[in-house]
Amino acid sequence: MPKKISVTAEFEVFETKEELDPADKLLLDSAVKIMENAYAPYSGFLVGAAVLLENGQIVTGNNQENAAYPSGLCAERVAVFHASSQFPGVKPVAIAVSAKSSSQVLDRPVTPCGACRQSVSEYEVRFSSPIRIIMAGEKGPVYISKSVSDLLPLTFTSKHL
């Protein structure tokens, strides 16, 4: 019989945004605000992301779609790439993400897609420090992960190269 390993992850669950601590609420509010600038004419799914840097700076992004669908980019990657391009040596400590849809009221948190988890993970590894992920919908609960590695177990990293 092969040996088994098991992977577990814990997430904090807040019943509403109002229960967040003020710094997390501020970051989430930044994500919600920038969500309104999303360019999502094809999906009608607007996403905003806000990255908190160690120096207190907040850098935001939103999803940018394209008529050639795969050429678009998710909000989380726009935000982390924006942050790294503007403040290359400054450690990101948290990212908040929120979304709304033209087809339903989003009553559960939006969780980053696999490619965004991989992209955020790059900066955890780069700075050897966890990045908290704050995930919200339009209403309903907010989930917080203490590290992107909890969202992406057995991550491929530069250590494999």
Binding site for ligand THU (CB under 6 A): 40, 43, 45, 47, 63, 65, 72, 74-76, 110, 112-113, 116
Q: How far apart are the C-alpha atoms of 154 and 8, rounded to whole Å?
A: 11
The 3 state secondary structure assigned to 44-56 is CEEEEEEEEECCC
Kindly tell me which of 112 and 141 has the beta carbon lying closer to ligand THU: 112
116: Cβ contacts below 8 Å, ≥ 6 apart: 74, 76, 77
For the bound state, the minimum distance from the C-beta of residue 28 to ligand THU, rounded and expressed in Å, comes to 14
The answer to whether residue 12 is catalytic is no
Alpha carbons within 13 A on the beta-carbon side of 99: 23
Residue indicated by tokens 């700075």 = 127
The active-site residue, picked from 12, 54, 65, 76, is 76
Cβ proximity to ligand THU, 40 vs 83, nearer residue: 40
Nearer to ligand THU, 56 or 131 (CB): 131
With beta carbons less than 8 A apart as the criterion, state whether 140 and 108 touch: yes
Beta-ladder partners of 143? 13, 135
Rounded to a whole number of angstroms, the minimum distance from the CB of residue 158 to ligand THU is: 23
CB of 44 to ligand THU, least distance (A): 8
Residues with catalytic function: 76
